[in-house]
């Protein structure tokens, strides 16, 4: 499990050095249910003004772009190993 976590950490660090943080969550997200049958994880990006769970714009476009770039790097890693 730690090895898979490191892949996410490395991908994030390559794209945005010093900006990542490993967080453990006990919230009832979809990943919690998926993890029952396969390894799962989630990426969070900062909300505008660090306010979440509200209506309206919550994340700047570059935050979404960074999230997809990390997922692409992680997918590439697992598909090539």
pLDDT tens profile 45-78: 777 777 777 776 677 777 778 888 888 988 898 8
Q: Where are the alpha helices (DSSP H) in 1-81?
A: 2-15, 30-34, 61-80
Q: Residues 21-32: what's their mean pLDDT?
A: 73
Q: What is the pLDDT of residue 75?
A: 87
What is the set of domains in the chain, with CATH numbers?
Answer: 2-80 (1.10.150)
Report pLDDT digits (tens) over 30-52: 877 888 887 777 777 777 777 77
Global pTM reads: 0.62
- What distances in angstroms separate CA 35 from CA 23, 26, 61, 66, one per listed residue? 16, 12, 28, 23
3 state SS of 55? coil
Q: How many other C-beta atoms can be found within 10 angstroms of the C-beta atom of residue 54?
A: 10
């Amino acid at each position: 499990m730690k090895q898979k976590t490191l892949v996410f950490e490395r991908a994030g660090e390559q794209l945005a050095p010093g900006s990542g943080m490993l967080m453990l969550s006990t919230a009832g997200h979809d990943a919690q249910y998926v993890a029952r049958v396969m390894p799962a994880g989630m990426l969070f990006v900062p909300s505008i003004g660090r306010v979440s769970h509200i209506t309206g714009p919550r994340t700047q476009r570059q935050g979404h772009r960074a999230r997809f770039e990390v997922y692409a790097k992680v997918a590439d890693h697992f598909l090539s190993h």
